[in-house]
Amino acid sequence: MDEYEIFIEDHCDEMVEDLLDVVSIKSVKSKDEANFTFGKGVHEAMNRFELLCQKLGLENVHRYDDYYSWVEIGNPALPMVGIICHIDVVDFDPTQWRHNPLGELSNGIIYGRGVSDDKGPLIMCLYAMKYIQDQKIPLRVRLIVGGDEESDFLCAKKYISNHEEMPRFGFIPDAKFPFIQAEKSLWNVTFQLTIEQFGYSDSSCLSGGIGQNSIPDQAKITIKGKDHHFRGETGHAANFAQADNAILQLISAIGPREDSLAEILVRHLSHQCLAIPYKDGEINLVPTWIQNKEDKIHVTFDMRIDESFDVSDVKRYLLKFLHLKEDDIVRENISQGYCYDLNHPVVDLLYTNYQECLRRSAVKRDPGRPMKIGGTTYAKSFPNCITYGPGFMNEHSYAHRADERISISSFKLAAYIYLRGLVSFQKLD
């Protein structure tokens, strides 16, 4: 065992205890608490984060409401290594869980909402910082923890608009190993239209969807007093091909009027999406949500766009194509994707570290390959910070699903990769 493995072995029980403690707070964003920006759960989890830093002797903590906190160690004259985590979690239905969603250790596996996404990595990285500080390793490290990653990214947006110092380089422990090489661009947009504009002038009720970036598993339209129901199968909007979109069923079954948005859409219906031609490819629109609002209708689309296209060009093109205007937009989430070169110094450092750690590990694992994803992580907001772990190949974390988990052996290995990786940042300047 090297000194990093010894440190993790010595602190493992304490880390797991701290993780279960943070997981016991249900930090789901909610609007019902007027006093707290993202609700009481996120607020309490942020409080707990501060206490944990204190306990570990990490004293330089800065907090901005419940948007974000950061804790920093090392000489401020050094370039900043950033670690970006989040403390909010996605909601859950406890009746779907076999284990306690607020934390349980059973047969060497830690269960609970957030154990892998993203409270587990947060604990691992805090302990790695403690090691760096205690061993007086000449590094400046700032761990930033966001409070709104799972919903609207207001944490990252606020960090940037507050002109907080951006890391020179770093990593985001919020997906899978070895690392995320590319993320597609995203445009998730809600339009407000008249019912005629949308295409169903004689309907009194139109609804469907469960969230802005989930495939709707039900949709309903009422025409001349008669209800028509559609049932599909939900899934993440980035993986639309594997789901069954109830809104698409609706628009293909109930013919919309001419010269309407729905009519343009019907013409481009493809497999579980609307395929709009663009340059030498196509843009896939996925309707996720639809709802009457008095005499208007709100309709949301999710699009994952090839990162080589400029997302604002795509937006302009699509508005024109769909005969819509900027003024029709009531909310949107738009972000440009990226693709890292494998020779990028931070990519190389982190990938090499990962491979070496895996080679040293007693348990043999499939090293996997760099990944390209349709989802969005903090990597889009923090340049030169690579999304790195904590999940391993062929080991499902059940993130966002019932019985989210991480085994103790994977927990220790990920903690080792982060600690050793963090130490290796001394090689960069």
Work out whether the CA dihedral 87, 242, 245, 378 comes out positive or negative. positive
Q: Using alpha carbons, select from 67, 22, 25 the residue that is nearest to residue 49.
A: 22
CB of 87 to Zn ion, least distance (A): 10
Binding mask 237-276 for Zn ion (x = CB under 5 A): ----------------------------------------
CB of 135 to Zn ion, least distance (A): 29
Nearer to Zn ion, 44 or 117 (CB): 117
Q: Using alpha carbons, select from 312, 366, 373 the residue that is nearest to residue 340.
A: 373
CB of 150 to Zn ion, least distance (A): 7
Could you say which residues in the range 6-45 bind Zn ion, by CB under 5 A? Answer: none
Stretch that binds Zn ion, among 117-125, 140-148, 389-397, 402-410 (CB under 5 A): 117-125
8 Å CB contact between 389 and 173:
yes
Alpha carbon 9 to its chain centroid, in Å, reads 30
The C-alpha atoms of residue 394 and residue 151 are separated, in whole angstroms, by: 27
CB of 331 to Zn ion, least distance (A): 21
Q: Which of 118, 183, 328, 404 binds Zn ion (CB under 5 A)?
A: 118
Nearer to Zn ion, 118 or 217 (CB): 118
Residue 219 vs residues 83, 135, 253, 296, 360: alpha-carbon distances, Å:
41, 58, 12, 17, 52
The C-alpha atoms of residue 127 and residue 58 are separated, in whole angstroms, by: 10
CB of 7 to Zn ion, least distance (A): 25
Alpha carbon 387 to its chain centroid, in Å, reads 11
Helix (H) or strand (E) holding 8: helix 3-23
Stretch that binds Zn ion, among 92-100, 115-123, 259-267, 269-277 (CB under 5 A): 115-123
Nearer to Zn ion, 121 or 421 (CB): 121
> Is 88 a residue that touches Zn ion (CB under 5 A)?
no
DSSP states of 160-200: HHTTPPPPSEEEE-SEESS-EEEE-EEEEEEEEEEHHHHT-
> Is 404 a residue that touches Zn ion (CB under 5 A)?
no
Tokens of 259: 């010269």
Q: Give the total of residues touching Zn ion (CB under 5 A).
A: 3
Nearer to Zn ion, 149 or 302 (CB): 149
The C-alpha atoms of residue 187 and residue 312 are separated, in whole angstroms, by: 9
Could you say which residues in the range 334-393 bind Zn ion, by CB under 5 A? Answer: none
Nearer to Zn ion, 230 or 392 (CB): 392
CA atoms within 13 A on the CB side of 211: 13
Q: Alpha helix (H) ranges present in 385-427?
A: 408-424
Nearer to Zn ion, 122 or 251 (CB): 122
295-323 CB burial, b ≥16 within 10 A, e <16: eebbbbbbbbbbbebebeebbebbbeebe
- Tokens 């990490």 locate to 58
- E-only strand ranges, 49-114: 60-64, 68-73, 80-86, 104-106, 109-111
Nearer to Zn ion, 174 or 183 (CB): 174
CB of 162 to Zn ion, least distance (A): 22
CB of 376 to Zn ion, least distance (A): 10
Nearer to Zn ion, 183 or 328 (CB): 183
Q: Using alpha carbons, select from 269, 323, 276 the residue that is nearest to residue 303.
A: 276
CB of 379 to Zn ion, least distance (A): 12
Stretch that binds Zn ion, among 112-120, 227-235, 277-285, 327-335 (CB under 5 A): 112-120
Nearer to Zn ion, 148 or 217 (CB): 148
Stretch that binds Zn ion, among 8-16, 168-176, 180-188, 294-302 (CB under 5 A): 168-176
Q: Which of 104, 174, 302, 328 binds Zn ion (CB under 5 A)?
A: 174
CB of 149 to Zn ion, least distance (A): 6
CB of 118 to Zn ion, least distance (A): 4
Stretch that binds Zn ion, among 153-161, 169-177, 265-273, 328-336 (CB under 5 A): 169-177
Stretch that binds Zn ion, among 171-179, 230-238, 242-250, 266-274 (CB under 5 A): 171-179
Torsion, CA 110, CA 10, CA 346, CA 378, rounded to 10: 40
Residues present in the chain in total: 429
Nearer to Zn ion, 118 or 302 (CB): 118
> Is 117 a residue that touches Zn ion (CB under 5 A)?
yes
Stretch that binds Zn ion, among 63-71, 109-117, 127-135, 335-343 (CB under 5 A): 109-117
The residues binding Zn ion (CB under 5 A) are 117-118, 174
